[in-house]
Amino acid sequence: MKKFIILLLFIPYIIFSQNTSKAKKAYTKAVDFFQDSNDKKAKELVQSAIRHDANYLPSYLLLGQLEEEVGNIESAIHNYLKGISDNNPYNAWGYWKVGMLYMQIPNYVEAQRAFNHFLTFKNQKSNKIESARKELKNCKFSIDAIANPKPFDFKNMGDAINSQWEEYLPSVSADGKLFVITRRGPHQNNVISEDFYQSEYLNGKWTKAQNMGPSVNTMGNEGAQCLAPNGKLLFFTACDREDGLGRCDIYISIKRNGQWSDARNIGPTINTKYWESQPTISPDGRELYFVSNRPGGYGDMDIWKSILSEQGTFSEPVNLGSTINTPYDEMSPFIHTDNQSLYFASNGHPGLGDFDLFLSRREYPAASWKNPINLGYPINTLGVENSLIVASDGKTAYFVSDKSGFGQEDIFWFYLPNDIQSQKVAYLNAKVYDAVNKTPIKSSIEIIDVITGKVMISSFSFSNSGEFFTCLPANANYAVNISKEGYLFHSENFTLDEQSALKALNLDIPLQKINKGSKIVLKNIFFDTDDYTLKKESNIELNTLLNFMNNNIELKVEIEGHTDNVGSESYNYKLSNNRAKAVYDYLINNGVSAKRMTFKGFGANKPITSNDTEEGRAINRRTAFKIK
């Protein structure tokens, strides 16, 4: 039996005439047929009721509902408005209903008028009042957004990616060479299901997308995947599997030697008896964002985050909070490789349609999320927008649409307007190993912006390979400090420029065990030319050295200063000695015992490379420390 809401929205009308009596009789029969799902007969009878008495208002309300059900929205609005009486407080709901229908057309000006009219009625249900106020915000935003459209020139990705079937939920590696999609089409025995397909970017074009195979694809449905920036981890959603912990769970597959491993459930810390889906992973592989309807959220579907520990376990998830999540639904999160831009879909923040796309930026040093920005019109429309991802260049966006293409849904790309772009990133590959036996080492890694002093990455390398991959904003200078108990820490200084955004910067990092005579160069100690005053950019390295001394209180060290061969021998000796003393004094002033340290300048007497080039001279100008 169909639910007939309109019956509850009016009080009985006084019958003044025989015509009204006939109208009521036809109307009552129409209601019976409507509730029995015989809409054709119901419409005939309600139109008969109107012919008997054009002033019998309930007939228009029923006709409005019949028109609404078949998608005749403008006719539905017309009939609802004819059936509403301002003298009847029960009809307040009708104005709310009309406002909602105007939102579908859309006609935001008339929707505003209807919602404002609804709010003039007293003693209405709180959920309807909340809804009307929410839609008024949507109207205000939509009118402004349509009047100020964003540039939006989208292009189909072509038949290498798209097919006659449905393609959606794209993901791309940081280097832009691996593209993974979900395709809904015929599987074994022509059963329609969702599978993952992958394409590689070779010789300036995408290869034909290929099924990723049985290690991740099954006879069931797999979807909502996220490709880690290094292209070697695939997080995805699968539902109703034998090893599942709830309706839908998050799984992981690892790429080794070119092959994807059998997928495994990532466990009960993330997956519960509730719904977990739509994962996205941070560029260093440590922060996992996902969507869940678990208790403790702000709405039905919220975005949550969990952090991967050095032991390889995920922390208890935390909700991203009320800045991101609303009493409604937030879906399809995507954390950009700049690790500061979060794109997601929401029907709770002010927007144009059912779900709009939004961007929130992470604000430091608190690492809190700023108020979301709607991506604007016509990126967002009256319909549902979701599943947007952005390439490492910060401007190339991929999304799914049924606008035009090869199948029902295809994947398209476009350039984001400047104000909603992410930072362009470059990417770093590091491999940490024992300097003597070359064994991979699991170590702690900290990367800091030299100019701002902001910690960009605090992570670790993996024990089985010693590898570490991350993305960082391009066109900046960074200090990296690598530490491992029982080893000397290692420091590097590097610049990620435009070229690094096209090809990874690779760092080989050998760690030396703490032994007498072991020595490392402090690559992030900086002085101005011909000066021995420590620059503020040196504080990063100085604090790392201070922590090392405090954590190894039995060690005694010598601080060494070295110069190039420009200048006299006496000048260079004095300069190098003063620079070594500057580091020594910093440690003394911060609590390290003078009994544990000495300092010495060597001038240009101990070069480690030729002084014939500026590059060589820069390498020879160095500060080092040696275990005594």
- What is the domain-level CATH number for residue 498? 2.60.40.10
Closest CA to 102 of 83, 88, 116: 116
Give the pLDDT confidence score for residue 310 in this predicted structure.
Answer: 76
Tell me, yes or no, whether 292 and 404 share the same domain.
yes
pLDDT band with cut points at 50, 70 and 90 for residue 258: confident
Per-residue pLDDT at 623 exceeds 80 = yes
**What is the share, in percent, of the chain residues with pLDDT greater than 90?**
70
| 132 lies in some domain | yes
- Lowest-confidence pick of 198-202, 353-357, 404-408, 616-620: 404-408
Q: What is the CATH number of the domain that holds 609?
A: 3.30.1330.60
Per-residue pLDDT at 8 exceeds 50 = no
Per-residue pLDDT at 508 exceeds 50 = yes
Domain that holds residue 181: 159-420
* Token pair for 306: 């969990």
The tens digit of pLDDT for each residue in 261-278 reads: 999 999 999 999 999 999
Tell me, yes or no, whether 245 and 336 share the same domain.
yes
Q: What is the CATH number of the domain that holds 69?
A: 1.25.40.10
Residue-by-residue DSSP string for 227-295? E-TTSSEEEEEEES-TT-SSSEEEEEEEEETTEEPPPEE--TTT--SSBEEEEEE-TTS-EEEEEE--T
What is the spatial distance between Cα 483 and Cα 476, in angstroms, rounded to a whole number?
23
Q: What is the CATH number of the domain that holds 372?
A: 2.120.10.30
- Lowest-confidence pick of 54-68, 300-314, 401-415, 542-556: 401-415
Tell me, yes or no, whether 110 and 180 share the same domain.
no
Give the pLDDT confidence score for residue 12 in this predicted structure.
Answer: 47
Please, are residues 317 and 269 in contact by the beta-carbon 8 Å criterion? yes
- Lowest-confidence pick of 82-86, 134-138, 401-405, 422-426: 401-405
Tell me, yes or no, whether 172 and 281 share the same domain.
yes
- For residue 358, the SS3 value is strand
Tell me, yes or no, whether 395 and 501 share the same domain.
no
More confident call, 465 vs 416: 416
What is the spatial distance between Cα 383 and Cα 13, in angstroms, rounded to a whole number?
39
Which amino acid appears at position 616 of this protein? G
The tens digit of pLDDT for each residue in 160-213 reads: 999 999 998 899 998 899 999 999 887 666 777 889 999 999 999 999 999 998
How many CB atoms are located within 10 Å of the residue 143 CB?
16
Tell me, yes or no, whether 189 and 295 share the same domain.
yes
- Lowest-confidence pick of 83-92, 108-117, 371-380: 83-92
Number of domains in the chain: 4
| 125 lies in some domain | yes
pLDDT band with cut points at 50, 70 and 90 for residue 455: confident
| 154 lies in some domain | no
| 550 lies in some domain | yes
Please compute the mean of the pLDDT values over residues 51-77 and round it to a whole number. 94
Tell me, yes or no, whether 328 and 193 share the same domain.
yes
What is the spatial distance between Cα 418 and Cα 376, in angstroms, rounded to a whole number?
12
Please compute the mean of the pLDDT values over residues 62-90 and round it to a whole number. 89
| 153 lies in some domain | no
Angle, vertex CA 314, rays to CA 309 and CA 317, nearest 5: 125
Give the pLDDT confidence score for residue 501 in this predicted structure.
Answer: 60
Give the pLDDT confidence score for residue 10 in this predicted structure.
Answer: 45
Tell me, yes or no, whether 508 and 545 share the same domain.
no
The tens digit of pLDDT for each residue in 14-53 reads: 444 456 789 999 999 999 999 999 999 999 999 999 999 9
**What is the share, in percent, of the chain residues with pLDDT greater than 70?**
94
Give the pLDDT confidence score for residue 360 in this predicted structure.
Answer: 98
Pairing, β 276-281 against β 373-374: unpaired
Domain boundary among 420, 446, 479: 420
| 583 lies in some domain | yes
Domain boundary among 403, 420, 437: 420
- Lowest-confidence pick of 75-89, 97-111, 256-270, 516-530: 75-89
Tell me, yes or no, whether 628 and 480 share the same domain.
no
Average pLDDT across the chain, whole number: 90
Residues 6+ apart with CB under 8 A from 627: 488, 514, 515, 516, 517, 518, 519, 555, 556, 557
Please compute the mean of the pLDDT values over residues 99-117 and round it to a whole number. 96
Please, are residues 101 and 73 in contact by the beta-carbon 8 Å criterion? yes
| 237 lies in some domain | yes
Give the pLDDT confidence score for residue 502 in this predicted structure.
Answer: 61
Tell me, yes or no, whether 377 and 447 share the same domain.
no
| 399 lies in some domain | yes
pTM of the model: 0.85
Per-residue pLDDT at 2 exceeds 70 = no
Domain boundary among 366, 390, 420: 420
Tell me, yes or no, whether 76 and 195 share the same domain.
no
Please, are residues 494 and 503 in contact by the beta-carbon 8 Å criterion? no
Please compute the mean of the pLDDT values over residues 214-226 and round it to a whole number. 86
- Lowest-confidence pick of 32-36, 466-470, 486-490: 466-470
How many CB atoms are located within 10 Å of the residue 439 CB?
10
Which amino acid appears at position 235 of this protein? F
> How many residues are present in the chain?
628
Closest CA to 375 of 393, 391, 390: 390
pLDDT band with cut points at 50, 70 and 90 for residue 626: very high
Closest CA to 206 of 248, 158, 167: 158
SS (HEC) of 192-207: EEEEEEEEEEECCEEC
Tell me, yes or no, whether 499 and 528 share the same domain.
no
Which amino acid appears at position 392 of this protein? S
Integer distance in angstroms from the first to the last C-alpha of the chain? 89
